[in-house]
Amino acid sequence: MNKLSAYISSKIFSSVFIVLLVILGLDVLSALIDQLGDLRNDYTLRQAFIYIGLTVPGRVNEFIPLSTFIGCLVAMGMLSSSSEIMVMRASGVSLFQLIRLVFKPILWLILLSIVIAELISPVTDQWATSHRDLQLSGSDQSLVSQSGLWHREADHFMHFNVIQPGGVLYGVTLFKFDTLGALQQILIADRASFQGKDWLLETVKITSFEGNDITQDQFTTQFWATQLTPKMLSYLSLDASELSPSGLFEYITFLEQQGLDSKVYELAFWQKCLHPLAIMSLVIIALSFIFGPLRSSTMGYRIFIGVVVGIGFQFAQNLLGPSSLIYGFSPFYAVLSPILLMSGLGLILLYRAR
């Protein structure tokens, strides 16, 4: 049984790797073409390659479910076409045992996906974003970066051109309003660095508004007290889909404390948490196709069906997710529904094929 397990695992790993390589190559090429329109200032073709390279881990994690689904279809389809599955069944291996052998390598792929999502892609995506923003906008200008970031904390509105990992900001602009919504102060700083508890602003210009009077002050450095930490700013600099599950949970808590809407991040949180279940549901439907309707089909037809089902699954999640934000139902159910539908359909087909 160990030799059989290793044989099936090698087939699945090789098929998933090839499918992932093809999908990833097409996606990277598309992303690179998209970046060509943004080449300006210090953002050259070489910098674009660096940016794309840093986003590769996140792209790999995004395509693991579809690659696993199609890879399982291809690998098990090859075994079925060569009658190897029939020989395994004739030698006493039950359908349940075959499914268990298939899920062994799948669990390693799920573990890889969890590690990438939690530890690798959030870091590389943040470096990619800060690298690109810095090359595009420079380090000493405020409110001119097309990719700058806004944030609100109580009555303060903040804009940052670039957020770098480790607690460094470039192009900082702070707007302070009173309780009636009137602008009280504008602070502009070229750079900010985190100094343990507070931020140290450099080359600071402050414009204050009191009634009809306007006063301006300049400082070489000034401390800035805020609840924002480098870790929290790393969450701010990334899209919700690029954050780790633990980072999403922490940022959702922070937004709720500030009285801000966190629904987008809740949706991303459940998508990340239920990501392993999504992979498993796609594997179940792939196995049900192999042991059921597609056991005598050609390889090309299996791949075609795999792409159609995978795209349909992704479309259902992309449709229900935003719908939950619009119509107010739980993002958890929006993410879980397609997974349950796929799993249920797969289990029914497997039961009929046993």
Q: Which of 228, 244, 266 is the last residue before a domain boundary?
A: 228
- Quick check: 292 pLDDT over 80? no
Determine whether 114 is exposed, middle or buried from the number of CB atoms within 10 Å of its CB (0-12, 13-18, 19+): middle
Q: Cα-flanking dihedrals φ and ψ of residue 65, to 5°?
A: -60, -50
State the pTM of this model.
0.82
Helix, strand, coil share (%) of the chain residues, nearest 5? 65, 20, 20
Q: What is the pLDDT of residue 309?
A: 82
Number of domains in the chain: 2
- 128 and 160 in a single domain? The answer is no
Q: For 228-244, how does the pLDDT look when each residue is reduced to its tens digit (9 = 90+)?
A: 888 888 887 888 888 99
Confidence of residue 41 (pLDDT cuts 50, 70, 90): confident
Per the model's pLDDT, the better-predicted residue between 22 and 132 turns out to be 22
- 132 and 51 in a single domain? The answer is yes
- 125 and 173 in a single domain? The answer is no
Q: For 157-200, how does the pLDDT look when each residue is reduced to its tens digit (9 = 90+)?
A: 998 888 888 788 988 999 999 888 889 999 999 999 998 788 99
Paired with 207 in beta bridges are 186, 216
Q: Is residue 260 part of a domain?
A: no
Q: Is residue 263 part of a domain?
A: no
Single-letter amino acid, residue 108: W
- Quick check: 313 pLDDT over 90? no
- Of the ranges 290-294, 320-324, 328-332, 347-351, which one carries the lowest mean pLDDT score? 290-294
- Two tokens at 170? 């470039």
Single-letter amino acid, residue 350: L
Contacts of 159 (CB under 8 A, 6+ apart): 142, 143, 148, 149, 150, 151, 171, 172, 173, 175
- Specify the residue for token string 């009636």: 180
- 177 and 218 in a single domain? The answer is yes
Q: Is residue 59 part of a domain?
A: yes
d(CA 40, CA 285): 47
Helix/strand/coil (H, E, C) string of 292-351? CCCCCCCHHHHHHHHHHHHHHHHHHHHHHHHHHHHHCCCHHHHHHHHHHHHHHHHHHHHH
- Quick check: 12 pLDDT over 90? yes
- 108 and 219 in a single domain? The answer is no
- Quick check: 15 pLDDT over 60? yes
- Quick check: 142 pLDDT over 60? no
- 215 and 297 in a single domain? The answer is no
CATH code of the domain in which 218 resides = 2.30.30
- Quick check: 305 pLDDT over 80? no
Q: Is residue 256 part of a domain?
A: no
Q: Is residue 70 part of a domain?
A: yes
Q: Is residue 293 part of a domain?
A: yes
Summary mean pLDDT of the chain = 86
Confidence of residue 141 (pLDDT cuts 50, 70, 90): low
Q: Is residue 184 part of a domain?
A: yes
Q: What is the pLDDT of residue 148?
A: 73
Per the model's pLDDT, the better-predicted residue between 300 and 286 turns out to be 286
- Two tokens at 101? 């052998």
Q: What is the pLDDT of residue 237?
A: 80
Q: For 215-230, how does the pLDDT look when each residue is reduced to its tens digit (9 = 90+)?
A: 999 999 999 988 888 8
Q: For 109-131, how does the pLDDT look when each residue is reduced to its tens digit (9 = 90+)?
A: 999 999 999 999 999 998 898 88
Per the model's pLDDT, the better-predicted residue between 348 and 49 turns out to be 49
Q: Which helix or strand (DSSP H or E) is residue 72 part of?
A: helix 45-81
CB 202 within 8 A of CB 191: yes
- Quick check: 301 pLDDT over 60? yes
Q: What is the pLDDT of residue 125?
A: 92
d(CA 81, CA 282): 21
Q: Which helix or strand (DSSP H or E) is residue 199 part of?
A: strand 198-210
Q: Is residue 116 part of a domain?
A: yes
d(CA 224, CA 210): 21
- 343 and 303 in a single domain? The answer is yes
Percent of the chain with pLDDT over 90: 38
- 89 and 159 in a single domain? The answer is no
- 13 and 130 in a single domain? The answer is yes
- Quick check: 143 pLDDT over 70? no
**Owning domain of residue 180:** 149-228
